[in-house]
A = this chain, B = another copy of it.
Amino acid sequence: MSSRTLRPGGRAARVQAAVHQATRELLDAHGRAGLTVPMIAAQAGVTPSTIYRRWGDLGELLADVSTECMRPDGEPADTGSVPGDLAAWGEQYREEMSTEVGRAMLRDVLQSCGNWGPGGGRSPCMSFTADQIGIIVARGVARGERVPSVDAVLDTLVAPIIYRLLMDAVPPTPQQVARWVQACMQGATKQARAA
């Protein structure tokens, strides 16, 4: 993602911020049907070729904007226990991703999935998620609780939420999320606290 390598406040960063903001405004106002690169360029006050040069095409730009929207605002809520934290985080994730906006972001992000996968890096969307779960697990270790591995939570809780959202006729339910959190905790083990 271009956003990672930009010097904050530099010209490239300012162009990126303007283009991202213009894209979000046009999406809010008109949705994505009929959205074009020249429309976004006019709104952002840059030339269309600036956008094509930086992002390649509209799909890549939408993926970049959606990835930024998925970046978490802060740490997961601290409920005092790992199962509580996972339940609260999982339910919020399920709810946000099940909205029309969440599903559209997910589709945008997946459109550019040729950018990672074998030979590339992990998708930023998965990295954000793994970081949030890592915080929950680290808090549990510090409290001396039994904790699942981050990978186990990705596979047992996050994966079925995403799979059902992408493929199933109905979105996953809070009851399913609660069951998947239980399944995560079945494989939890006690880990040594860092000194």
For A100, give the chain B residue with the smallest CB separation. Answer: B118
Chain B residue with the shortest CB-CB distance to A119: B169
CB distance from A56 to the nearest CB of B (A): 13
Q: A154 touching B163 by the CB < 8 A rule?
A: yes
CB distance A116 to B160 under 8 Å? no
Are A117 and B159 touching (Cβ within 8 A)?
Answer: no
Q: Evaluate contact between B186 and A113: CB separation under 8 angstroms.
A: no
- Report how far A44 CA is from B145 CA in the complex, Å: 63
**One of A22-30, A80-88, A103-111 contacting the partner:** A103-111
Q: Is A168's beta carbon under 8 Å from chain B?
A: yes
Chain B CB within 8 A of A114 CB: yes
- Do B171 and A118 touch (CB < 8 A)? yes
Stretch at the interface among A12-20, A122-130, A133-141: A122-130
A169 near B121: Cβ-Cβ < 8 Å: yes
Task: For A170, give the chain B residue with the smallest CB separation.
Answer: B118
**Bound: A182/B111 CA distance, A:** 32
Report chain B residues within 8 Å CB of A154. 160, 163
| Contact pick for A165, options B98, B117, B171, CB 8 Å | B117
A113:B180 contact, CB within 8 angstroms:
no
Min Cβ gap A92→B in Å is: 18
Cα-based distance from A56 to B126 in the complex (angstroms): 32
Chosen A-B contacts, 5 in total, with CB atoms closer than 8 Å, are A117-B171, A126-B167, A154-B163, A155-B160, A159-B162
Listed in ascending order, the chain A residues whose CB lies under 8 Å from chain B are: 98, 103, 107, 110-111, 113-114, 116-118, 120-123, 125-126, 154-156, 158-160, 162-171, 176, 180, 183, 186-187
